Chain A
Amino acid sequence: MADNLRSRARWVLFASLLAAAVTAAVCPFLGGSGMDYGKLWRQESPDWNIFVTLRMPRTLLALLTGAALSGSGALFQALLRDALATPSSLGVSAAASLGAVTAIAFYPGGETAFPLVWLSALAGAAAVIGLVIALGHLRRFSSFTLLLTGIAVNGICTSLVLLLHSLAGITKSFQITHWLIGGVDAIEYSALALLALVLIPVFIWMLRLSRVLNVISYGETWAAGRGVDFRKVTWQGFAAGALLVGSTTAVTGPIAFVGLLVPHLLRRIVGPDYRLLMPASLFGGGAFLVICDTISRSAFAPLEIPVGVTTALLGGPFFVWLLWSR
């Protein structure tokens, strides 16, 4: 059985890594207004410049963001032992958005003030995670009640975002609208490297935690009786989730349903064991968002639709189906 699990894990890792690598290698060449592949091959402008400065960083950003959103979805589902727990349903994404919009509204430079927006989004996500930890541990809220609390947090944050949007003035209001639409835009390689530097260690930590996440699925009493410090793991897991969601939301704006759709879809394929599900969710989530981004810039080319629209149109019906079949 041990060898069987190891070989399955290797296979899942290989397949999901391959999916991510193939989409990352192929999708930058697709969509938009088309590319002159001859010029690209000869590294001639403008196609080569478009490829290097726009398409590649955009694809890599989609890869990292998809992995972060999908991985945090799988992580929250394990920690709360609830299939509907995601960064969005817990209110983490909305709080990160509120943090980012606050930074855009109040500070000069607004949307381009990358570190500031980033830190504000992180602060928003951390505040909600703090609330979840406090309610879960101090008041012993069930995952169902925490998800209901998430609905309230979502409502409050959305209202505050609308309030800031209304009071921000025309220029800021336009920046906020653009950011709120959510999208994977081209990004400086330096910012991309910084994002990768934050996210990849968290991904590795999550992969190493996956056997313990399995035990967390059995509930606090069972996990504690197997030597797992349930509260510590939960606290660390939520902090890691806040870091993933806050960091990516600051750069891309809110992108819904990735954390719900990808882990659930993959759970049906690879099973509930987080030693298989976590790597599949990370690489699969990355591949999924790269594909969604390619669809977004290809479906109505030369017009481009926000990637959040594509993920919502795919994820919304899936969410309904999930509730139906639960």
Chain B
Amino acid sequence: MSLLAIENLSFSYPGRGAVLTGITASAAGPEVIAIAGPNGAGKSTLLDLLSGQRRPESGTCRIQGRDAHVMGREELCRLVAHVPQMIPGDVPFTVEEVILTGRIPHGRGLYENDDDHAAMELAIKRTRLNDFRGRRFSKLSGGEKQRVLVAAALCQQAPILLLDEPSAHLDPENEAQLWDLFRALRDCGHLILVVTHHLALAAQNADRVWLLNLGQLAADGPPCDAMRPADLERVFHVPFHWHRSAEGRVFLTYGR
């Protein structure tokens, strides 16, 4: 049984054409999957469908064999944690308080219990946020805020993490650290789906790439297969090149 199985998933917004058409893909277990594609290809919409925030027009999305859109909202959030691009920057809470929002699907009591605090401590440890725990979220840098949101998703203790352009506003150091974190989380048993425009980093760090174009899955496979220069040029309309460094590392560049 796959951890995630998407079958023939289609969606369109009212009054607009189809955003996603017949998406079929799956993930058997822990891995880092980069979802790439041009603007408007349907990447964020796909995450919204997987997290149950939108209902598909047709097709199914099964998580551990069960239809995501039949489950209760809280039950689904115990299996899938969705991290949007950003939340309002002026949220007046501390880092610990933001992280603890991940425990809402585990119980609606007025106060968090010991299990909730144990999950928070683990998430703080994994995301190396110990020095920030008492600081206000609104006072953090973009990279620190992104780590806090990932920590909140970890605190949710869901096996599947969906991240929508988490490195959009990060400098190279923070971006590299975030991808290191994703790989570490994969090693801890999480399935990570990351929407990204940073194809070079996706090529280096992801186990697999889902390439979306015009609402369809144009390619699905390891970076070297799913990101062939000819396919990428057809999708993004700029030339791409794979290179091998003297140390044997493979990397991707693009541009005329």
What is the interface of chain A, defined by CB distance below 8 A to chain B? Answer: 1-2, 5-6, 9, 81, 208, 210-212, 214-215, 217-219, 221-222, 224-229, 271-273, 275
Are A227 and B104 interface neighbours, CB within 8 A?
yes
Bound-state Cα–Cα, A271 to B93, Å: 9
Are A226 and B104 interface neighbours, CB within 8 A?
yes
1/0 per residue, CB under 8 A from A, across B61-84: the answer is: 000000000000110111001111
Are A229 and B110 interface neighbours, CB within 8 A?
no
**B residues within 8 A CB of A6?**
111
Partner among B78, B108, B110 whose Cβ is within 8 Å of the Cβ of A275:
B110
Are A217 and B110 interface neighbours, CB within 8 A?
no
> Assuming the A-B contacts A208-B110, A211-B108, A226-B105, are A219 and B53 also in contact, with contact meaning beta carbons closer than 8 angstroms in the complex?
no
Can you name 11 A-B residue pairings with CB atoms under 8 Å? A1-B117, A2-B117, A9-B111, A210-B110, A211-B109, A215-B101, A215-B104, A218-B87, A218-B98, A219-B88, A226-B101
Nearest-CB residue, chain A, relative to B149: A222
Partner among B91, B105, B109, B112 whose Cβ is within 8 Å of the Cβ of A218:
B91
Are B111 and A225 interface neighbours, CB within 8 A?
no
> Assuming the A-B contacts A208-B110, A275-B111, are A227 and B105 also in contact, with contact meaning beta carbons closer than 8 angstroms in the complex?
yes
Most chain B CB within 10 A, of A9, A221, A228, A275, is at: A221
What is the interface of chain B, defined by CB distance below 8 A to chain A? Answer: 51, 53, 73-74, 76-78, 81-84, 87-88, 91-93, 96-98, 101-102, 104-105, 108-114, 116-117, 156
Nearest-CB residue, chain B, relative to A275: B110
Are B73 and A229 interface neighbours, CB within 8 A?
yes
**B residues within 8 A CB of A210?**
110
Dominant SS at the A interface?
A: helix
How many contacts between A and B, using CB within 8 angstroms? 79
B73 to chain A, nearest CB (A): 5
> Assuming the A-B contacts A5-B111, A217-B92, are A227 and B76 also in contact, with contact meaning beta carbons closer than 8 angstroms in the complex?
yes
Nearest-CB residue, chain B, relative to A222: B87
Most chain A CB within 10 A, of B82, B83, B101, B102, is at: B101
Bound-state Cα–Cα, A81 to B92, Å: 11
Bound-state Cα–Cα, A219 to B87, Å: 7
Are A225 and B81 interface neighbours, CB within 8 A?
yes
Bound-state Cα–Cα, A221 to B149, Å: 12
> Assuming the A-B contacts A227-B77, A229-B73, are A2 and B87 also in contact, with contact meaning beta carbons closer than 8 angstroms in the complex?
no
**A residues within 8 A CB of B76?**
227
Partner among A208, A222, A229, A273 whose Cβ is within 8 Å of the Cβ of B97:
A273
**A residues within 8 A CB of B98?**
218
Are A2 and B114 interface neighbours, CB within 8 A?
yes
**B residues within 8 A CB of A228?**
73, 104
Bound-state Cα–Cα, A271 to B94, Å: 11
Nearest-CB residue, chain A, relative to B164: A221
Partner among B51, B77, B91, B156 whose Cβ is within 8 Å of the Cβ of A217:
B91
**A residues within 8 A CB of B51?**
224-225
B25 to chain A, nearest CB (A): 21
Are B93 and A211 interface neighbours, CB within 8 A?
no
Nearest-CB residue, chain A, relative to B85: A221
Partner among A208, A211, A272, A273 whose Cβ is within 8 Å of the Cβ of B104:
A211
